[in-house]
Structure 1
Amino acid sequence: MKIRNVLAIISIYVVVFITFFSSVSLQQKSYSTIPISENVVNFINEVNVSKIIYDTLFLSSLNSRTLGYQGFYRAAEYIVTEFNKYADKVIVHEYKTAMPIEKGSWIYIGPPYNLNVTAYALWPNGGISASVLKNYTGKIYYVREGGFADLDGVNLAESIILMDFNSGRNWLRVASLGAKAVVFIEPSETNQNEALLKGSMSPLNFPRLYVDSKTGEILKSAAERGVPVTINTEMRWEEITGYNIIGEIEGELKDDVIIISTHFDSWSIVPSLSPSAEEAVSTSILLELARCFSKHRPTRTIWLVAYSGHWEGCIGPTEFVEHVMLNSSKRIWTQIGIDISSETPQVDFLNLSPNLASSGLWQAIPSGSFVRTPQFALRFDWVKRQVSDFLSKIDISGLKREESIYTGTHDLLSLVKFNFDIGISGSWAWGWWGTQTSYYILDTEPSLAVDAISFTIRTQYARRSSWLTPLNNFGKIKWNNIIPQTWIISAVCYYFANAPSFGVDWSSIAPKRIYVGVQYILGFSKLSGQTVEFNPETGWYTPIPRALIRMMVYAGNDEHVWPFAYRYKVSDEDGKFIFYGLVPYTPWALDAWKFDENTGDIAYSLDQGFYGLAQGVSGGLTNIAYPLTERVSVLLPMFKCVPVTLFDLIDLRRMRRVAISDVRPPYHMFFSEPARLEVFESASRSRPLFYYVTFGSDGVGVICVKNGTTISITFNPNINELSKPLI
């Protein structure tokens, strides 16, 4: 990968450089005769917090590290440059995925302004519909938060609506009333809940744009004066190359490997604006550990891995496991993930997220609740015992600190909570998620799926309210909470790199393609598939090339999860595609799409009809892969279609949505009703031969049928309570 010159940082931070290079020039001491628990203090003191701050500042200055965007590739170049300074070898592992890439968005404000201003497209609705709207001219109305009072007297039909960003999901109201597009104004403050509510869980093709606050004021003025505007937005799904960057520092035991990892990409509801400074802290710590281990050479070889594809169903770490970990001849002992923020100085040790928590790692018991299989939990017992013992022996009085740094404890162990062996027992409050209060993803989990000893060090009570937004949260970072976490991470990494022995047989924890344990099964299956269309002339299926394929890794019908629930691929010219990392004996759902180049509308969708999935009748193909061995295959039937969008699909008896998630725990709903949206041919009252139906808990549904089909639609908000549809 070509390395380009990186962006210079403003002069106020030059002092950071001076501090950093002064520390680098210090002569390295030899600690070979000092016990490891004393030696680690010197290693921790080697960590330069000023360099961590500098790297965080730089990475957040790139506007967006969203996978596939310019800032992402500049961040990758910077990491390669830094690794080349300290590592013995640097490897850039490439993989293919699909991402919605913004091609350019702008708004022209007519006379007397005559201004062309920059706008930014939002993430596709449902993780599918990337909008295209070219040179559309119309009236613009400012409706504040979009409440009913704000909309009074506004002619919404075919108009362009200007709204405050902090307006919940009220944009769906203006979309349902006929608006052509919505433009959100940059707020001074916002949170991830507001950000995620700016998208729908269904593939609704409705253009949504974002402008900065200064542009927003100009547009407000234009709206007040009745000046027409012209908007242009174009976002398209493209096959892109993602990078996992590996810096290797060779140890005395060069074939024994410890992996230290984090992700360096980011995500925002506005993909072109994703500075995510606090998220970059983990990457900055990884870079600093590279420098420290280059001076304090480890006993075991260190792989420092900077992943991408974190927010895309963990596709980057999954591809790493498939192509690097499972193909390595080295002995990989453990993987330590870094995922910190600054809410607290304490950390959770986690090995499971909601992604795999309901897979083969769990067993049902007669009471109807679930518990962790003891055999699985015992695999991590030695990690807990040895790390606990090591941390308890570290004398932190010798650690460098300022008065402002956290001083509420006298040992590192009191800042740690292990969550390897706690199961659910009558309450969701005691589970594998420890103190985590919202949905999260672990980059180490794909490694766990191949039976490796992998875990992530994550900040306790990590709400991370300023993440996933287009605003830069650098000023919100509480560095006095970051530093104690850095101590713990440095100490744990140092221990695994240098402990004389773990007292564990490596063959029992070695990564495996398929592993059948007592009461649980793990593995890494390969899915081969093809996108096809039924051909009535031949009576069989012909390939559909270059389709967008999604594989669900988590239940996507959740307003706090829907953008991150999928991995994406693009089928080749023969309609073929491959996914890796399917855990056996677990169902994996897929769908497939193609789009109109001029409008962004769905042009091809998955076929649930008679020649497709044949839902409601016997036979048919399946879009559910259920691997039992190392390989599984699937044929995804598609058909050419036109979409129909429905709004306000709610339970009219109670005037509420059919599902409402609880934002507090990471895997919980307040309630969820078994609702059903169906489509029928009006004349025969039977299901169409070709159709597709989907709807989300936000009340938006999309039905795809053949062009020219006359249809009737029914909606039943609770099929257990109502024998007939309510609508």
Structure 2
Amino acid sequence: MIGVIKIGKLIIIALTLLLIGGNAFIALGEPDSPIELASDDVKLDNILKHIYFLSSIGSRYPGYPGCEKAANYIYNYLANELGLNTFTLSYRALIPYDQNSTLTILRPIRKTFRVYALSPNMVELCRTPPGGVEGELIYVGKSDIESLKDIGGKIVLIDYNSGANWLYLKNLGAKAVIFVEPEDTTIFEEECKIMDIPVNFPRVIVKRKDAKSLLSLLEKERVFVKLNVDVFWKEVELRNIFSIIPGTCSDLENIVMIAAHYDAYSAVPALTPAADSASGVATLLEFARVLKKNRPLRTVIIAAFSGSAIGMAGARYFSEQIFYRHWEKPLVINGNRGRVSLKGTDIRLIFVLDLSSESSFMALFAQGAFYGWFDWARVGGLEPLLSYFKKIGSYDDRKWIYELYGRKYRLYIPAIFFGERKVIPYTIVSRLPVIHMGEVFNHAGVLALTFYTVNRFCQGTIADTRDKVNPRNLKPQTELVYQLIYTLLNDPDTHVDNMLKSLLHFPSRTAPRGFALLRGRVWYFDEPSLTLRSDWNQVLDKDDIIVVYVRMISPEEGYRHCFISRANATGFFEIPGLKPSGWALGAYPYEIAVFVIDNRTGQIKWATDQGSLGKSLWPHGTTFTLSSMEEASGMKAVNLVLFKCGVLTLHGCMFDPESLLPLKPEEVKFIVLETTTQKVLEQYGVCTSRLHRTLSLIPFRGSYVFLCQDAVFFLPPDIKVDIVLADVRTNVIIGILRNKRVGLGEYRSIKLCQLEFAKNILEVSRRMLENIRDQPTLAGPLDLAEGYYDSALREYKKGVESKDALRTFTLMFKSLYIARKTLSVLKETYSNIATFTLLLLLLLIPTTLVLEKLLFGYSGPKRIASVLSMYILLLAVLAYIHPGFRVLANPFALLSGMLTIISASLPIVFLLAESYSIIREV
């Protein structure tokens, strides 16, 4: 009878799984097998209930109300519903907070819509000035360049799924863009909406239903609107939440942590529905319930982390606190059911749940794109764990199929690559870069393995809504993860304890892994005392804050590896979790920039000084690596000097004007000169884009390249400057800007800067042409140069007057190309003139000597005076009749240089002559 009941029970389970559409093959399992526990105890309905609640409470971007509600929900569930001893660890973080951005129709009707600001461009919040920006609203669809007409001064409504085409609008002079909320989108689209340099261009998104109202109105008549982007930097307290499930064994040295993040990311912080993004933490809560009911052999810590959207902040601050500051010295915390004593050595292994219902294909990852590659041969520990999991079931490493108790699952278990073969496993199975919290723990010194759903395209976007959650894909993943983890937690074999004790388990600040701590101080130059000071409360206004921005600048690694922090009133800041460099293991360079921002207006008022004074304390400039123990442990601080500034942005300036291909930052040389003196500025700064290779996958090639072609200059206020851009490889001028000035905190942008470059190059060419226009001997090159000049001037004027975007861009590059050809011909002409003039000056010397001998034949001092007089006379005649002396800006400098060469060579000639005489005598 009992057997019949059991068979009936298994049949019911099989039918249930078939009804929910699981894609695994069902077989009868043993009565007490983990598969039966998974089927009976891990309830998909419970997981979905958590997902639906967490996606209904508003944005879970760190620091937003939804994130705080999620923390309260998780804490209450663990502490009160499950009755677990639960505690929190807090840290502070700086986030962009969208308070209440709005779009108001001014006419023909008056109506206000809530809109949502996109993430900052680096530290630039893109906040509108007090009172907002006003203009005519137009709709451009996907903003294909062929269809854009008369964009300047408009506020533009554009489809969200339009790649980086919004950059055309920025370059054409639009005041702001308003994206229409899409029904569906991808992470590629999200990446195209944010720049990694502080470009101020307001970008918001409007809900679909509100966009329909706007479009309906636009079909009838012209619409005028006012956009108010109300975003500011907010320092918030974020919580990591932990619960302890004591094991039936009293051994507390092999604690296993199961972790997930409960916050979420999207390109629109205030609009982060994050339904599917809750899959990991929802599964974590269900595992906590099942493990509380069926206590495992080994002690488990359930950990829900915040801050994954802001550079893995929660995992980084936890690792710094527990694995470095409390590795052996316990941290005593008050839990809701008693005090907890926790130290780093207690935690032996960490499992991270980073799941998605977009796919049923899962992988086990230890490395990822956040930190990049490191050599497991130097740290060890991962291979025994992967081998253990392979032995629990049956794994086909060619088809990536894992079979357990008759069920088949799609699972990728990576091979371990050692030595010089720098292969990160995610690149084998995923089209997208994979970043996960396990990377943080592995670099911190405790082995972590992440269960990761690969090829997710919608998770982490504004379209990650509840209707996208697919239980059919989530069910097999939760089953398999539970089976593998529960098997390890309950395996009584001593070899499992030995394996756990052999895993990676030591913190290190230096390579080959390493978890570096960056400490630094921000200074300013006090002119009255002529000293550097850091008492910022003496010079900052009430609403000013010091914002520190650090990013890894490797194009292959460091995806979303950037940190934003706040320096205190003494200029001190501390950022944990950077990747150290090793001389034999590769360099991982970072770039740091510090700003003082008026948090009321969003203006940048101070910036990092990259001039001579700024480099006096930190000789590496704004780029550095952390290699030595002193650097990686924070004992050797980074020192940066700030200066008061305004901001000047050049849009689309970093192009090779001949090939029209984008240039990398290291391929462009920037020269910033004071206009009046033409001396290099002592204080200035510049930011250029360094995009991750991920963007090369984006299929929007035409516009995506503009993401990395802007340059932002920070200039001393109220000083006129000239800026020259040159190609480092060829030293050829890319462009010239003249007579630019910004005020303190002022933001100015040069749109269609190739037209500005063309204008300034043409002005230089005009002055050069005027000097040689009347020289008949230069007729050939002069005609060529004048032809280029006239052509470039015509194209420039057409480009300025054109209202058609495609025509404007075409004329812009054409005028710059011809202007550079004009300058090139003129430079070559001037160079030939200078060379020929120098040759004449040299030939004048023997000519003078011969003439003096023929006409006078003096000797002694009288001959010297005669030769000099005759040379000066001939020089005067040449200066009058030869065009070279009138064309060259300073022919006497050329003459003095020539005389210097002659004077320097005379002793050599004398010595050679003396030596020759001695040799002859011998």
Q: TM-score range by the shorter chain?
A: 0.7 to 0.9
Two-structure CA RMSD over aligned residues (Å): 3.1
Q: Report whether the alignment pairs 1:682 with 2:682.
A: no
Q: 1:133 to 1:185 in 2, by over 3 A?
A: farther
SS of residue matched to 1:134: coil
Of 92-101 and 196-205, the range deviating more from structure 2? 196-205
Q: Which amino acid aligns with 1:541?
A: L
**Partners of 1:712 and 1:447 in 2: how far apart?**
48
1:501-580 alignment, distance < 5 Å: 501=494, 502-504=496-498, 508-509=502-503, 511-514=505-508, 521-543=512-534, 544=536, 546-552=545-551, 554-555=552-553, 564-580=560-576
Q: Which amino acid aligns with 1:61?
A: S
- Whether the aligned pair in 2 keeps the contact of 1:273 and 1:471 (CA below 8 Å) is no
SS of residue matched to 2:223: coil
- Whether the aligned pair in 1 keeps the contact of 2:59 and 2:269 (CA below 8 Å) is yes
Larger radius of gyration: 2
**Partners of 1:651 and 1:614 in 2: how far apart?**
33
**Partners of 2:320 and 2:679 in 1: how far apart?**
45
- Whether the aligned pair in 2 keeps the contact of 1:380 and 1:420 (CA below 8 Å) is no
- Whether the aligned pair in 2 keeps the contact of 1:603 and 1:641 (CA below 8 Å) is yes
Q: Report whether the alignment pairs 1:247 with 2:256.
A: no
**Partners of 1:708 and 1:407 in 2: how far apart?**
67
Q: What TM-score does the superposition give when structure 1 sets the normalisation length?
A: 0.82
Deviation at 1:48, TM superposition (A): 0.2
Q: Which amino acid aligns with 1:719?
A: V
Q: Who is 1:63 aligned against?
A: 58
Q: Which amino acid aligns with 1:687?
A: V
**Partners of 1:300 and 1:448 in 2: how far apart?**
21
SS of residue matched to 1:456: strand
**Partners of 1:573 and 1:331 in 2: how far apart?**
37
SS of residue matched to 1:194: helix
- Whether the aligned pair in 1 keeps the contact of 2:137 and 2:223 (CA below 8 Å) is yes
**Partners of 2:476 and 2:409 in 1: how far apart?**
11
Q: Who is 2:886 aligned against?
A: none
**Partners of 1:561 and 1:117 in 2: how far apart?**
38
SS of residue matched to 1:282: helix
Match for residue 170 of structure 2 among 175, 192, 197: 175
Match for residue 354 of structure 2 among 339, 347, 357: 339
- Whether the aligned pair in 2 keeps the contact of 1:466 and 1:473 (CA below 8 Å) is no
SS of residue matched to 1:139: strand
- Whether the aligned pair in 2 keeps the contact of 1:350 and 1:434 (CA below 8 Å) is no
Which structure features the higher share of strand residues? 1
Match for residue 710 of structure 1 among 708, 717, 720: 720
**Partners of 2:591 and 2:31 in 1: how far apart?**
48
Q: Who is 2:275 aligned against?
A: 277
- Whether the aligned pair in 2 keeps the contact of 1:87 and 1:248 (CA below 8 Å) is no
- Whether the aligned pair in 1 keeps the contact of 2:259 and 2:303 (CA below 8 Å) is yes
SS of residue matched to 2:429: coil
1:454-493 alignment, distance < 5 Å: 454-459=448-453, 462-493=454-485
Deviation at 1:223, TM superposition (A): 4.2
SS of residue matched to 1:523: coil
Deviation at 1:258, TM superposition (A): 0.3
Q: 1:524 to 1:413 in 2, by over 3 A?
A: farther
Deviation at 1:101, TM superposition (A): 0.5
Deviation at 1:640, TM superposition (A): 1.2
Q: Who is 2:322 aligned against?
A: 324
Q: Report whether the alignment pairs 1:349 with 2:357.
A: no
1:199-238 alignment, distance < 5 Å: 199-223=194-218, 225-238=221-234
- Whether the aligned pair in 1 keeps the contact of 2:402 and 2:408 (CA below 8 Å) is no
Q: 1:387 to 1:542 in 2, by over 3 A?
A: same
SS of residue matched to 1:126: coil
Q: Who is 1:258 aligned against?
A: 256
Q: Who is 1:10 aligned against?
A: none
Deviation at 1:148, TM superposition (A): 3.1
**Partners of 2:40 and 2:669 in 1: how far apart?**
60
Number of residue-to-residue matches in the alignment: 643
Q: Who is 1:305 aligned against?
A: 303
Q: Which amino acid aligns with 1:278?
A: D
**Partners of 1:186 and 1:243 in 2: how far apart?**
30
Q: Who is 1:651 aligned against?
A: 656
Q: Who is 1:364 aligned against?
A: none
Q: 1:411 to 1:137 in 2, by over 3 A?
A: same
Of 640-649 and 581-590, the range deviating more from structure 2? 581-590
Q: Report whether the alignment pairs 1:161 with 2:164.
A: no
**Partners of 2:387 and 2:642 in 1: how far apart?**
53
**Partners of 1:239 and 1:625 in 2: how far apart?**
28
Q: Who is 2:410 aligned against?
A: 415
| Identity in percent | 24
Q: 1:190 to 1:414 in 2, by over 3 A?
A: closer
Q: Who is 2:733 aligned against?
A: 725
Of structures 1 and 2, the one with the larger relative CO (CA 8 A, separation 6+) is 1
- Whether the aligned pair in 1 keeps the contact of 2:260 and 2:305 (CA below 8 Å) is yes
**Partners of 2:33 and 2:403 in 1: how far apart?**
22
Deviation at 1:51, TM superposition (A): 0.8
SS of residue matched to 1:123: coil
Q: Report whether the alignment pairs 1:631 with 2:634.
A: yes
Q: What TM-score does the superposition give when structure 2 sets the normalisation length?
A: 0.65
Q: 1:103 to 1:556 in 2, by over 3 A?
A: farther
Q: Which amino acid aligns with 1:450?
A: A
**Residues 507-528 of structure 1: CA distance to partner in whole angstroms, max 9, x if unpaired?**
6546433277xxx534334332
Q: Who is 1:77 aligned against?
A: 72
Q: 1:637 to 1:725 in 2, by over 3 A?
A: same
Deviation at 1:432, TM superposition (A): 5.7
Of 535-544 and 679-688, the range deviating more from structure 2? 679-688
Match for residue 488 of structure 2 among 477, 483, 496: 496
Of 621-630 and 265-274, the range deviating more from structure 2? 621-630
Deviation at 1:601, TM superposition (A): 2.8
- Whether the aligned pair in 2 keeps the contact of 1:120 and 1:272 (CA below 8 Å) is yes
- Whether the aligned pair in 2 keeps the contact of 1:623 and 1:635 (CA below 8 Å) is no
Q: 1:523 to 1:309 in 2, by over 3 A?
A: same
Where structure 1 has 5 or more consecutive residues not aligned to the other structure, the ranges are 1-18, 20-33, 362-371, 394-405, 660-671
Deviation at 1:298, TM superposition (A): 1.3
Q: 1:123 to 1:167 in 2, by over 3 A?
A: same
Q: Which amino acid aligns with 2:526?
A: N
Q: Which amino acid aligns with 1:539?
A: L
Q: 1:676 to 1:245 in 2, by over 3 A?
A: farther
Q: Which amino acid aligns with 1:527?
A: L
Of 432-441 and 98-107, the range deviating more from structure 2? 432-441
Q: Which amino acid aligns with 2:483?
A: A
Deviation at 1:265, TM superposition (A): 0.8
Q: 1:523 to 1:299 in 2, by over 3 A?
A: same
Deviation at 1:467, TM superposition (A): 2.6
SS of residue matched to 1:104: coil
Where structure 2 has 5 or more consecutive residues not aligned to the other structure, the ranges are 1-15, 17-28, 327-341, 396-400, 538-544, 582-587, 692-706, 736-922
- Whether the aligned pair in 1 keeps the contact of 2:108 and 2:224 (CA below 8 Å) is no
**Partners of 2:596 and 2:722 in 1: how far apart?**
25
Which structure features the higher share of helix residues? 2
Q: Who is 1:399 aligned against?
A: none
Deviation at 1:70, TM superposition (A): 0.9
